[in-house]
């Protein structure tokens, strides 16, 4: 079936209650779920191509492209380390009717392609009066622990939220990774698809068939009554870990995972805050002009009448990433930081 015939809303399925899955449960890793989505997209449509840095590497980018080039030798291929150039190639291919999935291994070096992304991919549909489209997916990896310090560790998702015409997805689970990637490939707009390195080995339930998660539809990862916690990517996992400790302190948190940052499910966040009257935002990027400030800029007028405490934010400090593992522990927010922020919001 061509992508243009797909109704994302009609083919979307909500994450099921695991107790209802019975023997049909199948658990695979985050990396495997991305590979499965790519394989199904390549089988569905001959116009889908996968290109970029390390695509044919023996590790398969943490297993996410493993042996795909053997099954699709003409449509899965490596590119030279020339970020601006390969992004231009992918944009041109998209304009001409292909559906490229471009792999930028590290988000830091995506900066070398910003002119291509911001001034071309994001604007071509608008400037052509809707006659041209750029169905391009840019996969980019973030994450700590590289030991590569300030130039290989940045999470710059907020930067891409500032530009109209670009969609941003940040899946936190294997289930979301597959469903959001298939939706991204089916979309006629450019999508920056951001993956966290620490999530690749996380296992979760993933259906074998194709399924699609609509953009702009967040999910409640944990229901609670005391504090609303908005978390993205790896911070969703950290929040779920902290929830148990907080429960022992008689603080019941509700965890909201937006899943996509642009578009953002503002209504889901507002609905949660209306119930709990407290808000904590967990980011993996910088605080200044970061995700939390963007979210608050969009919803503050809608939630301020409900809030009974200040909004608390856990994010990176406005300083460069250290390479020392000991300093990294101080630099990145963890369970203690989450618990401290929630307790402060709750007044306990």
d(CA 162, CA 320): 22
Q: Which two tokens stand for residue 295?
A: 């979210």
Residue from 47, 305, 99, 71 nearest 55 by CA: 71
Residue from 103, 257, 44, 91 nearest 189 by CA: 91
Is 152 among the residues known to form the active site? yes
78 and 53 Cβ atoms separated by less than 8 Å: yes
166 and 192 Cβ atoms separated by less than 8 Å: yes
d(CA 197, CA 146): 9
d(CA 77, CA 89): 13
201 and 32 Cβ atoms separated by less than 8 Å: no
Catalytic residue among 32, 36, 53, 83: 83
> What does the DSSP assignment read for 15-51?
PPPGGG-GGG--EEEHHHHHHHHHHHHHHH-TTEEEE
> What does the DSSP assignment read for 159-205?
HHHTSTT-EEE---SHHHHHHHHHHHHH-SS-EEEEEEGGGTT-EEE
d(CA 188, CA 157): 20
Q: Which residues pair with 49 in a beta bridge?
A: 100
282 and 239 Cβ atoms separated by less than 8 Å: yes
d(CA 89, CA 106): 18
Catalytic residue among 104, 120, 152, 196: 152
d(CA 315, CA 317): 6
Query: Known catalytic residues?
Result: 83, 152
């Amino acid at each position: 079936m061509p992508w243009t015939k797909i109704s994302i809303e009609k083919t979307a399925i909500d994450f099921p209650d695991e107790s209802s899955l019975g023997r049909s449960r199948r658990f695979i890793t985050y990396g495997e779920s991305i590979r499965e989505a790519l394989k199904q997209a390549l089988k569905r449509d001959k116009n889908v191509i996968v290109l970029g840095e390390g695509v044919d590497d023996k590790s398969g980018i943490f297993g996410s492209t493993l042996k795909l080039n053997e099954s699709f030798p003409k449509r899965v291929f490596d590119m030279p380390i020339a970020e601006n150039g390969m992004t231009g190639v992918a944009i041109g291919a998209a304009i001409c009717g292909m559906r490229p999935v471009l792999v930028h291994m590290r988000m830091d070096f995506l900066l070398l392609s910003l002119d291509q992304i911001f001034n071309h991919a994001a604007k071509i549909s608008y400037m052509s009066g809707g006659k041209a489209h750029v169905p391009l997916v840019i996969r980019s990896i973030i994450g700590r622990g590289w030991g590569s310090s300030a130039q290989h560790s940045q999470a710059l998702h907020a930067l891409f939220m500032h530009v109209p015409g670009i969609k941003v997805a940040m899946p936190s689970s294997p289930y979301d990774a597959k469903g959001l990637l298939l939706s991204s490939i089916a979309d006629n707009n450019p999508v920056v698809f951001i993956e966290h390195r620490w999530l690749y080995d996380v296992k979760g339930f993933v259906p074998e068939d194709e399924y699609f998660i609509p953009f702009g539809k967040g999910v409640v990862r944990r229901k609670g009554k005391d504090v609303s916690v908005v978390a993205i990517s790896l911070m969703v996992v950290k929040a779920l870990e902290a929830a148990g400790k907080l429960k022992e302190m008689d603080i019941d948190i509700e965890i909201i995972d937006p899943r996509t940052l642009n578009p953002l499910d503002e209504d889901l966040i507002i609905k949660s805050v209306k119930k709990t009257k407290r808000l904590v935002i967990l980011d993996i990027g910088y605080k200044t002009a970061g995700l939390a400030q963007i979210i608050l800029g969009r919803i503050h007028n809608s939630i301020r009448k409900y809030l009974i405490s200040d909004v608390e934010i856990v994010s990176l400090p406005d300083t460069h990433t250290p390479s020392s593992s000991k300093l990294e522990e101080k630099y990145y927010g963890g369970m203690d930081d989450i618990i401290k922020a929630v307790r402060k919001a709750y007044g306990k």
